[in-house]
Structure 1
Amino acid sequence: MRYTFLLLIVAFACNSVSEKFSTHGSEITSDNALSIKDFLQKVNEEESTFKVRGTIEEVCQMKGCWMTLRNEMGENVRVTFKDYGFFVPKDISGREVIIEGTASREVLEEDVARHYAEDGGKEYDESMRNSISFVAHGVLVKEG
């Protein structure tokens, strides 16, 4: 009877679906992360702490020192990393990510927006100045 119970536990553990993530920066967990849509409804000009789950749209191709998140609302969500203390791989566009840190809405200086456009291989557009700035202290990138 004990062996049957043990075999059932092992079989269940082997069949369970588990998300695998690589960690960058501080260790964080995946639980209680907001969707991009919910995050965009809550973020404002005042800096607040968030945990968000989304899809990476673009990564800085120079060093991996920033990334943007895809969203249907059309707002630019630019993620940088606390104290420039870590980077992410440059080849992770399209992957799911969970980020934790502080965020606020802001209008970027034109030269900063131009710099980001250049690093992303895009032509500058005035609308790039309107942004949501997210400074992550921890990032989980879904593997595979």
Structure 2
Amino acid sequence: MRYIAIILFAFACSNPSEKFAFHGEEISSENAISVEEFLAQVGEENANFKVRATIEEVCQMKGCWMTIMNESDINIRVTFKDYGFFVPKDVSGSEVIIEGIAKEEILDEDVARHYAEDGGQEYDESMRNSITFVAKGVLIKES
């Protein structure tokens, strides 16, 4: 009987109201770090990360990339492994968990211009400074 009570207590303490839709590989929400922690750890070499963030913008052509918000105003662009999946175009402002590899880099001017065009923005040279995150899986919090 004690074991049943412990199991029921464990389920009651979990957060069932937090529901996510997944895209790409199925990942968990466990051990995701904040954007600020991510920014402190990312470098010029590819490294694996799992990050909890808020979606800032999504490609309005296909949903083939998104950016995530951060207080440092750094361009963090998320693309999807092997161009194998996309996200809905109407999820800006949603909470997201992404898992994959990331690194700091300077984008080719043509690529930066392409992203600006897909996002409906004017190209600016500062858009070339970027953190590229290639996600193998994405969880988007359902409201």
Give the structure-2-normalised TM-score: 0.91
**Count, aligned residues:** 139
2:67 corresponds to 1:61? no
SS at match of 1:98: strand
Higher alpha-carbon Rg: 1
1:39-90 superposed Cα distances (whole Å, 9 cap, x missing partner):
0000000110000000000000000000000000111000000000000000
The aligned residue for residue 86 of structure 2 is 87
Unaligned runs of 5+ residues in structure 1 are none
Pairwise CA distance, 1:14: 7.2
The aligned residue for residue 137 of structure 2 is 138
SS at match of 2:37: helix
Provide the C-alpha distance between the structure 2 equivalents of 1:46 and 1:14, rounded to a whole number of angstroms.
Answer: 41
Provide the C-alpha distance between the structure 2 equivalents of 1:32 and 1:46, rounded to a whole number of angstroms.
Answer: 21
2:103 corresponds to 1:104? yes
**Moved >6 Å (runs of 4+):** none
SS at match of 1:37: helix
The aligned residue for residue 42 of structure 1 is 41
The aligned residue for residue 32 of structure 1 is 31
Q: What's the % identity of the aligned pairs?
A: 67
Unaligned runs of 5+ residues in structure 2 are none
2:7 corresponds to 1:23? no
Provide the C-alpha distance between the structure 2 equivalents of 1:140 and 1:13, rounded to a whole number of angstroms.
Answer: 21
Give the structure-1-normalised TM-score: 0.90
Pairwise CA distance, 1:17: 3.5
Pairwise CA distance, 1:104: 0.2
1:13-46 superposed Cα distances (whole Å, 9 cap, x missing partner):
5796421000000000001001000000000001
